[in-house]
Amino acid sequence: MPGFSKGPGYRAPFGKNEYLRSTEGVKDESYTVASSVIPTRTVDGDAVKVLQPGTVMAKITSGAQSGKIGPFEAGVTDGRQTGANIVGLAKTFLPWQLNERDVEIGVTYEATAVQSWCLEVNASGVYIALTDTTADLMRGTKNLDIMFA
């Protein structure tokens, strides 16, 4: 008699989906994320590119991916390190799609968000909680109206 197999190997849960304090008055715009600028992280032993909702997103203004967006990241030189290029907070959760291709997402540019639920990428390419410095940059950016609770 053949042995019994328990089904697929399920992945450990990862990610979060909420970054907003309220859904009242939220405004979004669509952008294309350049998969090549998304840092990898390890999930169940596999290196994957994951985009979490609430990640600060900025325009890429130089290089092959110019015109697309990626996570605001200190230490890069493609425009994403500049506060004036911040376009908002990622609305879309992409748990694997960026491993394959560039993806169009929703980006929130007007809302009330919880700062500690939002993310940015540090100079080492690691996702960290949104810092006061970056939140202040966002408050002073034209065409952005995100309040932090």
As a whole-number percent, the residues of the chain with pLDDT over 70 amount to 91
Q: Which residues pair with 104 in a beta bridge?
A: 32
What's the whole-model pTM score? 0.89
**What average pLDDT score do residues 111-116 get?**
95
Counting the structural domains of the chain, the total is 1
Burial class of residue 6, CB neighbours in 10 A (0-12, 13-18, 19+): exposed
Q: Which residue has the tokens 């506060």?
A: 83
Range of the domain at 98: 27-148
User: Is the distance from CB of 69 to CB of 107 less than 8 angstroms?
Assistant: yes
**What average pLDDT score do residues 27-32 get?**
97
Whether the per-residue pLDDT at 62 is higher than 70: the answer is yes
Q: Does any domain span residue 57? A: yes
Per-residue confidence at 12, pLDDT binned at 50, 70, 90?
low
CATH number, position 88? 2.40.300.10
Per-residue confidence at 58, pLDDT binned at 50, 70, 90?
very high
Per-residue confidence at 9, pLDDT binned at 50, 70, 90?
low
Tell me the pLDDT of the chain averaged across its residues. Answer: 91
Q: Does any domain span residue 130? A: yes
Q: Does any domain span residue 14? A: no
Q: Does any domain span residue 124? A: yes
**pLDDT of res. 124:** 93
pLDDT tens by residue, 81-103? 999 999 999 999 999 899 999 99
Whether the per-residue pLDDT at 59 is higher than 90: the answer is yes
Q: Does any domain span residue 49? A: yes
Q: Does any domain span residue 6? A: no
